[in-house]
Amino acid sequence: MKDAQPAAIHLKDYKAPDFSITRTRLEFELFETYADVRATLTIQRQTSDKEAALVLDGQELELLFVSVDDAEIQATNYQLTDATLAISNVPDRFKLVCVTRIKPQENTSLEGLYKSHKMFCTQCEAEGFRKITYYLDRPDVLSEFTTRITADKSKYPVLLSNGNKIAEGNSEEGRHWVEWQDPFKKPSYLFALVAGDLVSLDDTFTTMSGREISLRIFVEEKDHNKCDHAMISLKKAMTWDEQVYGREYDLDIFMIVAVDDFNMGAMENKGLNIFNSSCVLASKETTTDDSFQSIEAIVAHEYFHNWSGNRVTCRDWFQLSLKEGFTVFRDSEFSSDMGSRTVKRVEDVNMLRTHQFAEDAGPMAHPVQPASFIEISNFYTLTVYEKGAEVVRMIHSLLGAEAFRKGSDLYFERHDGAAVTIDDFVRAMADASGRDFSQFMNWYRQAGTPRVSISASYREKENEFELTVKQSCPATPESNVKKPFHMPMALALVGERGPIELQLKGQLGKGNNECVLELTENEQTYIFSGVKERPVPSLFRNFSAPVKINYNYSLEDLQRIIAKDTDGFCRWDASQQMAVKSIFSVMDALGNEPSPTVNSQLLDAQSDILQQAIDTIDGKDTQDLQMLAYTMALPSEEYLSEIQSSIDVEKTHHARIRVKRKLAIQFYDRYLAIYERLACDEIFSTDAQSIARRSLKNTALSYLVASGKADAVELCNRQLQNATNMTDELAALTNIVHSSSKSAELIKSDCLQSFYKKWQHETLVLNRWFALQATNPNPGTLEQIQALMGHAAFDINNPNKLRALVGGFSNRNPSCFHDRSGSGYAFLSDRIIELNQKNPQIAARLLTPLTRWKKYDEQRQENMKKALGRIQAVPALSKDVYEVVSKSL
């Protein structure tokens, strides 16, 4: 925070630590204005260099006492900087005692030990532990932790840390203490402490070897009735990890704690996961279906880290995707198994293509294994997480489920209790399968989204179909020159009646209807023989590699895929590409033609989908209703922007609205038919089928409202008044507030006001209320947001509120945020300047949309750069903000 120009650190400079810390004893004395931490460390020299000084990390600490082997060290015999404590001439093995004083109450960065409302809690990943005590705060130093917490008994009756509770007692002046011991060695980033007045939902789980594990979810008393869903999710995840990966839980107790002020979703601390309350609390009245689903996924994700992350951890932070990419892959497979596989795939790919591809094309682009960073907090990215998961998925598809499982078994067995690298992970996969992954490693080392351009020709006489596949990758900040990737391309050739049997020319044996071609070169040609009709290629089926595909599909080709392909992902994708083509052609015509037309193929496709939906609801067809809802919806403005090389903000917004309105008017009766059939669902459940029905109903409702008819707004208002679950209530309110129709205008502010009144005591619901106003695409939104910043329920120190109001506006409201005047940019830069010192991680994260200035027109570029320049000029820029601003200007 103090350096004017913080330096980058590089993977190539990795050096094993000079010392290990075999045991760590921490004693916390928590008070109302400060906390004292006494750390007793058993330290051992690891190098033969007897001269090497012990250099511990430490930040914002007041050092009260330090001793080596019980002899106090005076200030003249150690060197303190604002980031380190160095002690020279230490023996090869010794006991270090260090007492530090910290101020959790003043810690607004939400890193280290801090207070969230009345509760103490910690967040140590990646480098927060150094804000608690002096330590070797790096993931390759693994230690056995014992933690004693002492605090006022009435204010903090619950005192938690990692591992098992081994002792407790009362001390003087109404204080009490609890001691925890974690038998598993762990790096400091997995340390956790919680102290508060909490209640718990308790349950048990019997593992596959018959051990009974106590499961406890701790929350504030008012939230006790909102823990069931997380508990059920946890037990499902525990079962799944045993069945699919053979992984059993290891401690006797597993705890989750919900806190309101948290920089991200959740944290996998050993045996004591700490969660953002938005990622754990759920009830049908207050929680939408997408949150129910993300809670299940996040609970599972953090639980899965117990093996992929905790038992086997990262050697250094360049290996972050070792645990994150693998764990996201694991949680995504878990969700697929709990619900619909195709639905989950579509959701994941849609997110990746909209947001990760944008990251990969921007100034912060980095490989899944970055080669350097200034602030590691900036690298908890979609690239490390989601693209990292896609890379693991490709390993899975190259090996098949069985060999992949052998590889993961070998990985866990070989590296249990160790801090390892991405190379170690891939080596286990290679050793278990005998496959060569050397070229595959380019996925980890090169940034950027590969482009795959495919051309096809059909030779009717020879019955041959030829595909020429060329791959390339655009320049990114770390390199202009890219080596070709080893990528699986799953392929089918779709004939008039569906995928045909595939026969690669010159190869023996009968083929299947789908094959996986392994691309390894810049250009490759494949000839299929025995092809009796001109087929349409179905490429990268199930999105078999995270690439941008360039194939010149005609609208008729897309129709063929939608109607005849057997791959659900490709059918959805074809419908989206058809909508993209329609919206883009309306964009081209805007300004020239009085009312640009929507092509007939899109109308036909929508008509078919609506009929399938009606038939399925009526029991005459058996389609996946959630897939129908997704197929019915138009691509988002964000996705449409991502695929434009230069974004036309206004035209994108207006063309999309125009196409939606056209569909809405043309098929009004059918949207209404769907809506009415689904509106009478009474029993609430969060199984995939019920969620799909609500999703389809609310998609239909949004079309009805898009028609501009007053009846539709009335319908929406009725849904808002009568809703018995938050999904329906919020969908109705959002449709009203986001509508530009006169009848909606008339009721908007009353609806917003009564929603607020009804939910004013539910902070998570209010976050949604803030977000839906921030994402309102109608004029005047920025003024409303500015007013909401002063609302009693808004709190600039709470990351959820910031994400809702500021993040919602700048990431999910393109037409207002990118207002030509630059007012949106100025607003965002003011917020970032305000947050730079308070909470650098959140400040840096909120900056993202400004970094993408290169994709806009000249005037917007100027305004965005001006906003970035204002931030850059701020004295004492945090490392986090400095890195993002300096890389993007």
Active site residue ranges: 302
Site for ligand B3K in 813-832 (CB under 6 A): none
> Residue 624 binds which one of ligand B3K, Zn ion, none, with CB within 5 to 8 A depending on kind?
none
Q: Give the Å distances, CA to CA, from 187 to 407, 423, 565.
A: 25, 20, 49
Distance CA 867, CA 859 (A): 13
Report the C-alpha dihedral over residues 580, 581, 582, 583, rounded to 10 degrees.
Answer: 50
Distance CA 17, CA 140 (A): 8
Which residues are 119's β-sheet partners?
A: 116
Task: For ligand B3K, give the closer residue by CB, 324 or 333.
Answer: 324
Residue pair 880/375 in contact by the 8 Å Cβ criterion: yes
Span of 318-326, 458-466, 648-656, 870-878 interacting with Zn ion by CB under 5 A: 318-326
Task: For ligand B3K, give the closer residue by CB, 260 or 573.
Answer: 260
| Smallest distance, Zn ion to C-beta of residue 188, A | 17
| Smallest distance, Zn ion to C-beta of residue 328, A | 7
Distance CA 857, CA 230 (A): 46
What does the per-residue mask of binding to ligand B3K show for 65-84, with x meaning CB under 6 A? --------------------
Span of 40-48, 107-115, 316-324, 666-674 interacting with Zn ion by CB under 5 A: 316-324
Task: For ligand B3K, give the closer residue by CB, 370 or 596.
Answer: 370
Residue pair 201/191 in contact by the 8 Å Cβ criterion: no
Closest residue to ligand B3K, judged by C-beta, is 125
Across the chain, which distance is largest between two alpha carbons, in Å?
A: 95
> Residue 380 binds which one of ligand B3K, Zn ion, none, with CB within 5 to 8 A depending on kind?
ligand B3K
Distance CA 408, CA 386 (A): 19
Q: Which of 126, 251, 430, 816 binds ligand B3K (CB under 6 A)?
A: 126
Kind plus residue range of the DSSP H or E element containing 722 = helix 710-722
What does the per-residue mask of binding to ligand B3K show for 355-394, with x meaning CB under 6 A? ----------------------x--x--------------
Distance spanning both ends of the chain, measured CA to CA: 20
Site for ligand B3K in 462-521 (CB under 6 A): none
Strand-pair category, 253-259 with 272-276? parallel
Site for ligand B3K in 236-265 (CB under 6 A): 264
> Counting contacts by CB under 6 A, is residue 268 touching ligand B3K?
yes
Task: For ligand B3K, give the closer residue by CB, 330 or 560.
Answer: 330
> Residue 319 binds which one of Zn ion, ligand B3K, none, with CB within 5 to 8 A depending on kind?
none
- Tokens 């808002």 belong to 720
| Smallest distance, ligand B3K to C-beta of residue 298, A | 8
| Smallest distance, Zn ion to C-beta of residue 454, A | 35
| Smallest distance, ligand B3K to C-beta of residue 377, A | 5
Task: For ligand B3K, give the closer residue by CB, 295 or 610.
Answer: 295
| Distance, C-alpha 782 to centroid of its chain | 27
Task: For ligand B3K, give the closer residue by CB, 301 or 860.
Answer: 301
Strand-pair category, 266-267 with 253-259? unpaired
830 phi and psi, to 5 degrees? -60, -45
- Tokens 């160790």 belong to 418
| Smallest distance, Zn ion to C-beta of residue 314, A | 11
Task: For ligand B3K, give the closer residue by CB, 125 or 241.
Answer: 125
> Counting contacts by CB under 6 A, is residue 324 touching ligand B3K?
yes
Kind plus residue range of the DSSP H or E element containing 863 = helix 858-872
Span of 10-18, 325-333, 600-608, 681-689 interacting with Zn ion by CB under 5 A: 325-333
> Counting contacts by CB under 6 A, is residue 273 touching ligand B3K?
no
Distance CA 421, CA 101 (A): 35
**Residues with Cβ < 8 Å from 563, sequence gap 6 or more?**
608
| Smallest distance, ligand B3K to C-beta of residue 419, A | 15
| Smallest distance, ligand B3K to C-beta of residue 463, A | 51
> Residue 716 binds which one of Zn ion, ligand B3K, none, with CB within 5 to 8 A depending on kind?
none
Span of 272-280, 317-325, 341-349, 540-548 interacting with Zn ion by CB under 5 A: 317-325
Distance CA 165, CA 178 (A): 7
Residue 133 has what DSSP assignment?
S
| Smallest distance, Zn ion to C-beta of residue 268, A | 6
| Smallest distance, Zn ion to C-beta of residue 305, A | 6
> Residue 502 binds which one of Zn ion, ligand B3K, none, with CB within 5 to 8 A depending on kind?
none
Span of 231-239, 320-328, 367-375, 620-628 interacting with Zn ion by CB under 5 A: 320-328
Degrees to nearest 5, angle at CA 361 with 355 and 367 = 90
Residue pair 797/755 in contact by the 8 Å Cβ criterion: no
Task: For ligand B3K, give the closer residue by CB, 24 or 109.
Answer: 109
| Smallest distance, ligand B3K to C-beta of residue 255, A | 16
Crossing angle for the helix pair 823-838 and 858-872, to the nearest 10 degrees: 20
Distance CA 586, CA 634 (A): 14
Would you call 54 helix, strand, or coil by DSSP?
strand
Which residues are 479's β-sheet partners?
A: 476
Residue pair 737/777 in contact by the 8 Å Cβ criterion: no
Count of residues touching Zn ion (by CB under 5 A): 2
H, E, C per residue of 461-497: CCCEEEEEEEEECCCECCECCCCCCCEEEEEEEEECC
| Smallest distance, Zn ion to C-beta of residue 327, A | 5
Residue type, 274: I
Q: Which of 61, 90, 267, 492 binds ligand B3K (CB under 6 A)?
A: 267
Crossing angle for the helix pair 320-338 and 289-304, to the nearest 10 degrees: 130
> Residue 360 binds which one of Zn ion, ligand B3K, none, with CB within 5 to 8 A depending on kind?
none
Task: For Zn ion, give the closer residue by CB, 35 or 234.
Answer: 234
> Residue 220 binds which one of ligand B3K, Zn ion, none, with CB within 5 to 8 A depending on kind?
none
Q: Which of 302, 347, 360, 729 binds ligand B3K (CB under 6 A)?
A: 302
DSSP 382-413: HIIIIIHHHHHHHHHHHH-HHHHHHHHHHHHH
Task: For ligand B3K, give the closer residue by CB, 329 or 528.
Answer: 329
Which residues are 143's β-sheet partners?
A: 186
Cβ count near 734 (within 10 Å): 22
Task: For Zn ion, give the closer residue by CB, 384 or 664.
Answer: 384
Q: Which of 125, 220, 565, 729 binds ligand B3K (CB under 6 A)?
A: 125
Task: For ligand B3K, give the closer residue by CB, 375 or 762.
Answer: 375
Distance CA 329, CA 325 (A): 6
> Residue 125 binds which one of Zn ion, ligand B3K, none, with CB within 5 to 8 A depending on kind?
ligand B3K
Distance CA 258, CA 223 (A): 9
Span of 56-64, 298-306, 690-698, 810-818 interacting with ligand B3K by CB under 6 A: 298-306
Residue 218, token pair as written in the block: 């701790």
Span of 321-329, 343-351, 773-781, 818-826 interacting with Zn ion by CB under 5 A: 321-329
Task: For ligand B3K, give the closer residue by CB, 60 or 762.
Answer: 60
Distance CA 652, CA 586 (A): 9
Site for Zn ion in 417-436 (CB under 5 A): none
Kind plus residue range of the DSSP H or E element containing 698 = helix 688-706
596 phi and psi, to 5 degrees? -55, 145
> Residue 254 binds which one of Zn ion, ligand B3K, none, with CB within 5 to 8 A depending on kind?
none
**Residues with Cβ < 8 Å from 48, sequence gap 6 or more?**
none
Residues forming the site for Zn ion (CB under 5 A): 324, 327
Residues forming the site for ligand B3K (CB under 6 A): 125-126, 264, 266-268, 301-302, 305, 324, 377, 380
